[in-house]
Amino acid sequence: MSESLAQDRADDAAGGPYVQLDRNSWAELADHTDIDLDEGTLARLRGLGDPTSREEVEAVYLPLTQLIHLHMRHTGHLYRASNAFLGLDVRRTPFVIGVAGSVAVGKSTTARLLKELLSRSPGRPRVELITTDGFLYPNAELERRGILDRKGFPESYDRRALQRFVVDVKSGMPEVTAPVYSHMVYDVTDEVEVVHRPDILIVEGLNVLQPARVRSNGTTGLALSDFFDFSVYVDAAEQDIRSWYLERFQALRKTAFSDPRSFFKRYATMSDEEATAFAHKVWDEINGPNLRLNVAPTRPRATVILRKGADHDVECVRIRKL
């Protein structure tokens, strides 16, 4: 048994803050209302190599959408009542959802599915999604700081700018811009994304559940997750995530890497052995250590943990009850 699974079991035995439901018990919670995704839409939302099926959407993502909707309704009531008590004339505050997990675990598919399903839920809320990679420091700055081989580690992001972005959206600013990262050029671009007062903002990224940093004087500030109303951690065993990463790397060689503009274009023409050795190295020296040191330790901070099995299907769901 892995250390983290053993810890989960110990937490359960001690009556910990989560309730764990297996896939079937979780699926039964859905009331099978009107939300449906056709195969074409689902194909558009899936990440490369991600096999998420309609059955998975129904069994896992519909109950999750309903649970989020419930939280959203009650959070809305609470804000309104609290603002009335304080005599504040504030517009509705966007409901912010964080989606965290390792590189290659399938966070993007989860985030895109939630965006689509939530926007079809009662009241048809306007949902916007941003990924945190736009807030990575540009390669030149990472190089200046000596951390170009630490892309994805917490220190490789402009955390202050990311937090400012979420605070600005949450405080109702009419237009808030976020920088855009390109996997193709392997760097932050000059493009920006503009978020216009959504009802729901989804923030997806490796480190969105990181706790606040301790300042040199021993005090702590606010963390990005202090502005989340709900969060999802997409979880799986590291050996499974590692093999999804390696398979995706091979698939990218035949697709994105063969574009002459791709930063990785030399891996498209390299021998299989050399390319595989490179992908192993990136996992073993960057993404694996980042998962173990920084990403996985934030898992207990999530409202919901989706635990995937080796076939990518969610096997069980843990929900914070306290």
For position 112 contacting ligand ADP by CB under 6 A, the verdict is: no
Percent helix, strand, coil in the chain, to 5, is 50, 20, 35
For position 229 contacting ligand PAZ by CB under 6 A, the verdict is: no
d(CA 225, CA 220): 14
Residue with tokens 């939630």: 114
114 binds, among ligand PAZ, ligand ADP, none (CB under 5 to 8 A by kind): none
Q: Which two tokens stand for residue 12?
A: 């359960």
For position 107 contacting ligand ADP by CB under 6 A, the verdict is: yes
CB 282 within 8 A of CB 198: no
Q: CB of 156: closest distance to ligand PAZ in angstroms?
A: 7
For position 184 contacting ligand PAZ by CB under 6 A, the verdict is: no
132 binds, among ligand ADP, ligand PAZ, none (CB under 5 to 8 A by kind): ligand PAZ
For position 148 contacting ligand ADP by CB under 6 A, the verdict is: no
236 binds, among ligand PAZ, ligand ADP, none (CB under 5 to 8 A by kind): none
For position 308 contacting ligand PAZ by CB under 6 A, the verdict is: no
For position 110 contacting ligand PAZ by CB under 6 A, the verdict is: no
Q: Indicate if the alpha-carbon torsion angle 21, 27, 32, 34 is positive or negative.
A: positive
115 binds, among ligand ADP, ligand PAZ, none (CB under 5 to 8 A by kind): none
Question: Binding ligand PAZ by CB under 6 A: which of 99, 113, 176, 206?
Answer: 206
Distances (CA, A) of 249 to 245, 256, 285: 6, 10, 16
**Binding-residue pattern over the window 116 to 135 for ligand PAZ, x denoting contact by CB under 6 A:** ---------------xxx--
Q: CB of 37: closest distance to ligand PAZ in angstroms?
A: 23
Closest CB to ligand ADP among residues 181, 228: 181
Residue with tokens 């304080």: 86
Q: CB of 74: closest distance to ligand ADP in angstroms?
A: 29
* Count, residues near ligand PAZ per rule CB under 6 A: 11
Name the DSSP class of 293: I
Closest CB to ligand ADP among residues 30, 178: 178
Backbone dihedral angles phi then psi of residue 129, each to the nearest 5 degrees? -130, 130
98 strand-pairing partners: 203, 231
d(CA 259, CA 105): 24
Question: Binding ligand PAZ by CB under 6 A: which of 63, 205, 288, 300?
Answer: 205
For position 286 contacting ligand PAZ by CB under 6 A, the verdict is: yes
Nearby residues of 179 by Cβ (< 8 Å), 6 or more positions away: 134, 135, 188, 189, 191, 192, 193
CB 199 within 8 A of CB 94: yes
For position 209 contacting ligand ADP by CB under 6 A, the verdict is: no
d(CA 265, CA 18): 45
**Binding-residue pattern over the window 159 to 188 for ligand ADP, x denoting contact by CB under 6 A:** ------------------------x-----
